[in-house]
Amino acid sequence: MINEKFKNLMRVAEITMQPVPTGDTPYTMGTMDCWRCETEVIVYSWRGKTWMDDNPPPDPVPHTIEYRYSRKAQGSYWANVCPCCKVIQGENFIYEPRGPLPHPKSHPSRILRILGIKRREDNGEAT
Ligand SMILES: [Zn+2]
């Protein structure tokens, strides 16, 4: 089972030239079709990752993870991008239940910031 998954990753990696870290790696990988160009690509998550994380991922960072601005999310985060057409693979599409990757921990304050909701303490105001 794990072997089949690894073989599939290596098959896609040969075409897309994306890295497949092995051993004690913080990265988790899965394959899916890019929503725009339909190329089969590898998408990554990593240990400690949160939803739309703006903390840098661990080194060495796969070259298809970039800090990008998403108009839809109205914020920047470390996103998986397609190695062919460079479009962001949105987190809704790469994580379960729609995508191949296990869901990262949610991060309420980050989600609130993305939504443009400021908590009172963020404004430095007394509550
Ligand atoms: Zn693409």
Show the tokens assigned to 6: 């690894």
Q: What is the CA(120)–ligand 1 centre distance, in A?
A: 40
Q: What is the CA(112)–ligand 1 centre distance, in A?
A: 29
Q: What is the CA(58)–ligand 1 centre distance, in A?
A: 24
Q: Is residue 127 part of a domain?
A: no
Query: How many structural domains does the chain have?
Result: 1
Residue 126 has pLDDT above 50, yes or no: no
Q: What is the pTM of this model?
A: 0.81
Helix (H/G/I), strand (E/B), else coil: 23:
coil
DSSP 93-113: HHBTTTSSBPPPBP-HHHHHH
Burial group, residue 7, by CB count within 10 angstroms (0-12, 13-18, 19+): exposed
Domain holding 86, by residue range, is 2-118
Q: Is residue 126 part of a domain?
A: no
Q: Give the model's pLDDT for residue 1.
A: 61
Q: Is residue 103 part of a domain?
A: yes
Whose tokens are 């980050």? That residue is 110
Q: What is the CA(81)–ligand 1 centre distance, in A?
A: 8
Q: Tell which wins on pLDDT, 82 or 3.
A: 82
Q: Is residue 123 part of a domain?
A: no
Q: Is residue 110 part of a domain?
A: yes
Q: What is the CA(72)–ligand 1 centre distance, in A?
A: 17
Q: Is residue 27 part of a domain?
A: yes
Contact 32, 45 (CB under 8 A): no
Kindly indicate the confidence band of residue 102, based on its pLDDT and cuts at 50, 70 and 90: confident
Show the tokens assigned to 120: 């009172």
Which whole number is the average pLDDT over 76-90?
Answer: 97
